[in-house]
């Protein structure tokens, strides 16, 4: 059964909305580390946090405290910049997921271009894996991207499910078929498979059909649901949905 990794970026987003310039203020809340611990208690098997170059939500101090406090695993999402690579090499998260970054985007839009960035990605992946960090590449469910990811010696791909999540009508099945095909090809090329982006309590169940799927990383939907029912209950509901699926 695939495990659930809870992305806590949006918890930090709420904090930064009021305490952007003073996030270490003793009144600053909510605390993403507390949220991570609650998610673990409710059944999450990992915590995901994206340390962006512009530090719009998660801060360096959050990553340090997550590394010290959580009991499952830390999955650090990051762009391929030397500053963030150095932080990863110092903190040593269990997993790193390399993603594209665009300062104008609200959240990550689309997958990493492994085809066009082999020269940049290869040494970064080698450095991270050399320190014992598992490396995943966040990519679109595209055959060329899968083939390129396999050549880069990453252990995982995380398939971008955003296009599927936004699809309507017959496009839903078309995008689901693309994801299934990409997952199957990834397995054939020796890559392990995770998935995430735009998944919620309505559209996650079909994604559980992906061949070899090991983990789903979900954030916004869980934090949104938590506003109504509380974080622990929101995580339990998603874990139950995955188990049932």
User: Count of domains in the chain?
Assistant: 1
Predicted TM-score (pTM) of the model is 0.93
H helices of the chain, where?
A: 9-19, 32-41, 60-69, 82-91, 118-130, 143-151, 162-166, 170-188, 204-207, 220-229, 231-244
Q: Tell me the pLDDT tens digit for each residue of 39-78.
A: 999 999 999 999 999 999 999 999 999 999 999 999 999 9
Catalytic annotation present for 160:
no
Q: What is the CATH number of the domain that holds 7?
A: 3.20.20.70
Given the residues 10, 57, 160, 197, select the one marked as catalytic.
197
Given the residues 10, 40, 57, 77, select the one marked as catalytic.
77
Q: Tell me the pLDDT tens digit for each residue of 185-222.
A: 999 999 999 999 999 999 999 999 999 999 999 999 99
Structure confidence at residue 23 as a pLDDT band (50, 70, 90): low
Q: Residue 54 belongs to what domain range?
A: 3-244
Q: Tell me the pLDDT tens digit for each residue of 82-119.
A: 999 999 999 999 999 999 986 554 455 679 999 999 99
Catalytic annotation present for 77:
yes
Q: Tell me the pLDDT tens digit for each residue of 4-21.
A: 999 999 999 999 998 876
Q: Cα–Cα distance between 226 and 199 in angstroms, integer?
A: 15
Given the residues 50, 101, 158, 175, select the one marked as catalytic.
50
Catalytic annotation present for 57:
no
Q: Say which DSSP state 23 is in.
A: T
Q: Which residue has the higher pLDDT, 28 or 162?
A: 162
């Amino acid at each position: 059964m695939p495990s659930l990794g809870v992305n806590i970026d949006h918890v930090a987003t709420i904090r930064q909305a009021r305490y952007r310039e003073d996030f270490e203020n003793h009144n600053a809340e909510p605390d993403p580390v507390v949220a991570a611990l609650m998610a673990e208690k409710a059944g999450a098997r990992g915590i995901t946090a994206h340390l962006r170059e512009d530090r719009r939500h998660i801060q360096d101090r959050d990553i340090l405290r997550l590394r010290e406090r959580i009991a499952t695993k830390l999955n650090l999402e990051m762009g391929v910049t030397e500053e963030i690579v150095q932080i990863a090499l110092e903190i040593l998260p269990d997993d790193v997921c390399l993603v594209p970054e665009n300062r104008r985007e609200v959240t990550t839009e689309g997958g990493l271009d492994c085809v066009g960035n082999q020269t940049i990605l290869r040494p970064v992946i080698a450095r991270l894996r050399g320190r014992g960090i598992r490396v995943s590449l966040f990519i679109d469910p595209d055959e060329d991207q899968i083939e390129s990811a396999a050549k880069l010696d990453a252990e995982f791909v995380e398939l971008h499910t955003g296009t599927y999540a936004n699809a309507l009508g017959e496009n839903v099945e078309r995008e689901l078929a693309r994801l299934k095909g990409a997952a199957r090809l990834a397995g054939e090329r020796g890559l392990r498979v995770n998935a995430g982006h735009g998944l919620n309590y309505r559209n996650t169940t079909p994604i559980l059909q992906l061949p070899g799927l090991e983990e789903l990383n979900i954030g916004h939907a869980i934090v949104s649901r938590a506003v109504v029912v509380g974080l622990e209950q929101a995580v339990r509901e998603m874990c139950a949905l995955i188990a049932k699926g």
